[in-house]
Amino acid sequence: MKALHNLLEKIKPQFEKGGRLEKFYRTFEAFETFLFVGGNVTKRGSHIRDAIDMKRTMFHVVIALMPVMLFGMWNVGYQHYNAIGLEVDLIDQFLFGLIRVLPLIVVSYASGLAVEFIFATIRDHEVNEGFLVSGLLIPLVIPVTTPLWMVALATIFAVIIGKEVFGGTGMNILNPALLARAFLFFAYPSYLSGEVWIYTQVQEGQALVDGFSGATPLALLASGELQYLPSAMEMFLGNIPGSIGETSTVAVLLGALVLVATGVGSLRIMLTVVAGGLFTGLLFNLFATNPFMEIPAYYHLILGGFAFGAVFMATDPVTASQTGTGKYIYGFLIGVITVLIRVVNPAYPEGMMLAILFMNVFAPLIDHYVVQANAKRRLRRLKNAQVKLS
């Protein structure tokens, strides 16, 4: 440890002002603070500070994402071998997924972090930790068949247009990971709908099984092919087609447990999203005119990206509502709009992405009214006090 620290201290002058690599100071600093929590001490205000920092916060979200990531990798392999009718063991299924998913993750992190480092250098601020989470979220919300260049493009777009133009982490209006997905969804629709969810490129001597359909349960529902719909248990466990990380509600719940237990994620938002989804689902049940409206309301929670979005996307503290009361409204409306888009909208079978992005845009408005309400309470108190005086 001492040797490593000495090494860093030794090369540090080259990166500091006047040094040969001065331009890369922010890059050096990012790695330095990654390796060592600095010895900088408080100067003003509170002399002691809570041990938590952004790195640890973000790291815990990454931990929470581990179950869905690992399950997603396995599911990629499982779906693939299922499609070609080959029976292999769990390890092989996982390894196949690992080989397919890992490049997506690497590309996402590499392209996004490159942009982050460049902007940190231009703006001369420390590299923010936000992308540690976004970089893992992006590969988890796209199909495994997405080309790598597309992942890179979407990531760069999301980081620049979604985050840096607003001033970087903490200032963005839209969730960067969802923006990346939305970018792909609208720029390359054929890569994000239809038969893209399962890796179906076969090697010589392999063939897809007869009657194979790679449609997601949501697509089946939208097209009315209810006879192919997987059982609720399958959808809950997650061995169904879909984006890499979204299929398993169980794995998402494990992640939610980590987020809530450590106090990093907002339980308030998670629960209200679920409440909003259930409420709208039940409402449709009451006035059902087609099969999609008739499905049990709880199906919405285990279908598609609902659980994943509720736990990992809607809870993004920067783009969600920032006031306590606002969070209830924000979460509930996400649930409502998701189911609304799913059931009523003929074009998009999945509503979670658009619902969250939509509410991201509305979150400041919700907060505005909550803040105004607080200000009004104070004003009313002032008026009452003046009445008493006069």
Region of residue 51 (phi > 0: left; psi between -120 and 50: alpha; otherwise: beta): alpha
CB atoms within 10 A of CB 385: 9
- The binder of other proteins chosen from 7, 11, 21, 37 (CB under 8 A): 37
Q: Which of 179, 137, 135 is nearest to 158 (CA)?
A: 179
With respect to other proteins, which residue has the nearer C-beta, 138 or 370?
Answer: 370
- Amino acid 174 reads L
Which residues, 6+ apart, have CB-to-CB distance to 98 below 8 Å? 73, 77
With respect to other proteins, which residue has the nearer C-beta, 57 or 206?
Answer: 57
Residue span binding other proteins (CB under 8 A) among the ranges 15-23, 40-48, 338-346, 347-355: 40-48
CB of 167 to other proteins, least distance (A): 8
CB of 50 to other proteins, least distance (A): 5
Contact 95, 76 (CB under 8 A): no
CA dist., res. 352 & res. 141, Å (int): 11
With respect to other proteins, which residue has the nearer C-beta, 9 or 294?
Answer: 9
- The binder of other proteins chosen from 327, 333, 342, 343 (CB under 8 A): 327
- The binder of other proteins chosen from 14, 27, 33, 200 (CB under 8 A): 33
CB of 368 to other proteins, least distance (A): 10
With respect to other proteins, which residue has the nearer C-beta, 223 or 374?
Answer: 374
With respect to other proteins, which residue has the nearer C-beta, 141 or 259?
Answer: 259
CB of 97 to other proteins, least distance (A): 27
CA dist., res. 390 & res. 385, Å (int): 9
- Amino acid 283 reads L
Contact 270, 311 (CB under 8 A): yes
- The binder of other proteins chosen from 19, 24, 54, 283 (CB under 8 A): 54
The two structure tokens encoding residue 19: 């040094």
CB of 245 to other proteins, least distance (A): 22
Q: Which of 225, 224, 221 is nearest to 211 (CA)?
A: 225
- The binder of other proteins chosen from 142, 320, 355, 366 (CB under 8 A): 320
Of residues 108 through 167, those in contact with other proteins by CB under 8 A are 126, 128-130, 167
- The binder of other proteins chosen from 44, 186, 204, 287 (CB under 8 A): 44
Residue with tokens 């179906």: 200
CA dist., res. 248 & res. 183, Å (int): 24
Burial of 348 (0-12, 13-18, 19+ CB in 10 A): middle
CB of 106 to other proteins, least distance (A): 21
Residue span binding other proteins (CB under 8 A) among the ranges 52-60, 90-98, 179-187, 283-291: 52-60
Q: Which of 56, 6, 7 is nearest to 34 (CA)?
A: 56
- The binder of other proteins chosen from 85, 103, 296, 324 (CB under 8 A): 324
Q: Is residue 344 at the binding interface for other proteins, with CB under 8 A as the rule?
A: no
Q: Is residue 51 at the binding interface for other proteins, with CB under 8 A as the rule?
A: yes
CB of 169 to other proteins, least distance (A): 6
- The binder of other proteins chosen from 10, 17, 20, 47 (CB under 8 A): 47
The vertex-295 CA angle with 272 and 328, nearest 5°, equals: 10
Contact 221, 208 (CB under 8 A): no
CB of 116 to other proteins, least distance (A): 13
- The binder of other proteins chosen from 264, 302, 352, 357 (CB under 8 A): 264
CA dist., res. 131 & res. 116, Å (int): 8
Q: Give residue 383's Cα distance to chain centre.
A: 46
* Distance, first Cα to last Cα, the chain: 71
CB of 131 to other proteins, least distance (A): 12
- The binder of other proteins chosen from 122, 261, 361, 365 (CB under 8 A): 261
Q: Give residue 264's Cα distance to chain centre.
A: 14
With respect to other proteins, which residue has the nearer C-beta, 24 or 212?
Answer: 24
Q: Which residues bind other proteins (CB under 8 A)?
A: 1, 4-5, 33, 35-57, 59-60, 126, 128-130, 167-171, 261-264, 266, 268, 317-318, 320, 322-324, 327, 367, 370-371, 374-375, 377-379, 381-382, 385
